[in-house]
Amino acid sequence: MHHYKRAVNFCVFILIVALAFNPNDNPFFISEVNTFEVMKTNDTLYQEIQAKSSDYSLPPQNAYIDTVWKKTPGRNGLKVNIDASYEKMKKEGVFHESLLVYEQIPPEIRLNDLDVSPIYRGHPEKDMVAFLINVSWGTEHIPDILNILKEHNVKATFFLEGQWAQENAEFVEMIDEQGHTIGNHAYNHPNMSRLSQQENTRQINQTNEIIKAITGDAPKWFAPPSGDYTDQVVQVADDLHMETILWTVDTIDWKNPSVSVMINRVNEKLHPGATVLMHPTESIAEGLDPLIKDIKENGYRIGTLDKLLNEER
């Protein structure tokens, strides 16, 4: 019996010690993780990355309303991820600027935080442009334009008139299925500045309903026909949770210029954050391929409005 009690007491003692023992609280126990962390932070490469990280950091830039270009999106800041950068460099053990890993830091004031105002462009330091293709007549050149965009893996933003969309649902589906952004171009191409608030609302709402019925999604971008707008028009769009979009570069393709004239005009006026206005015309169908090549050769990416107007670098 005495031996039995001793055995039970010993087992209880072992159990209590096991439950109470925490290696993290033991000054004589150093985990492998802690050892690695100590070695890493003592590594001169890690210290070099840490010391130089501030030289490569950039502060975020807030969205703002420009006196000329109105609502302008902000831009994310950059911060070096020291641990991730060290992981990429430790094999060679030498600092390489090209191997730095960054985190993007969003600005405090974003586009949605600004007062009601139209948008003409993306951030003026963003090396991206967007094609704004306003469609209110014709279908002849739509397939060619879509094929060229697909060949170059370029996504555009198509602003569709509601009446045109209603009569050409198969083309709306085609545009949507190929991953392009679809915007609202009013119902029957009126001068919005001459309409009442009620009629402006009807023009935009009716078009939204038609596009949503075809694609399943209501547009969030509105392009007033002929760029004709007033503060009331912009407010109506805002009340419908939409942004009013204008442009900074006009192909003037509706004047039927030659391909070379159209391309030269765009190249001369191209800039970071540009929005390039075009229509499904013959000069665009014939000149889109070389235009895309020129824009890319000039160091610009081409994206939808969604990508152009976000804060990502």
Prediction pTM value: 0.84
What residue type is assigned to position 283 of the chain?
A: S
Pairing of strands 128-135, 301-302: parallel
User: At CA 15, angle to CA 9 and CA 21, rounded to 5?
Assistant: 135
pLDDT of residue 29 exceeding 50:
no
pLDDT of residue 239 exceeding 80:
yes
pLDDT digits (tens, 9 = 90+) for 133-180: 999 999 999 999 999 999 999 999 999 999 999 999 999 999 999 999
- Distance (Å, rounded) from C-alpha 71 to C-alpha 67? 9
pLDDT of residue 3 exceeding 70:
no
**Residue 269 confidence class, pLDDT cut points 50, 70, 90:** very high
Q: Which residue intervals of the chain bear CATH 3.20.20.370?
A: 128-308
pLDDT digits (tens, 9 = 90+) for 109-133: 999 999 999 999 999 999 999 999 9
- Distance (Å, rounded) from C-alpha 105 to C-alpha 108? 9
Average pLDDT over residues 82-91: 94
User: Mean pLDDT over all residues of the chain?
Assistant: 91
pLDDT of residue 80 exceeding 50:
yes
pLDDT of residue 34 exceeding 80:
no
pLDDT for the residue numbered 216 = 98
128-308 under CATH 3.20.20.370, yes or no: yes
- Distance (Å, rounded) from C-alpha 266 to C-alpha 297? 14
Joined together, the tokens standing for residue 84 give 């991730």
pLDDT of residue 5 exceeding 80:
no
pLDDT of residue 289 exceeding 60:
yes
248, exposed or middle or buried, with CB in 10 Å at 0-12, 13-18, 19+? buried
pLDDT of residue 11 exceeding 70:
no
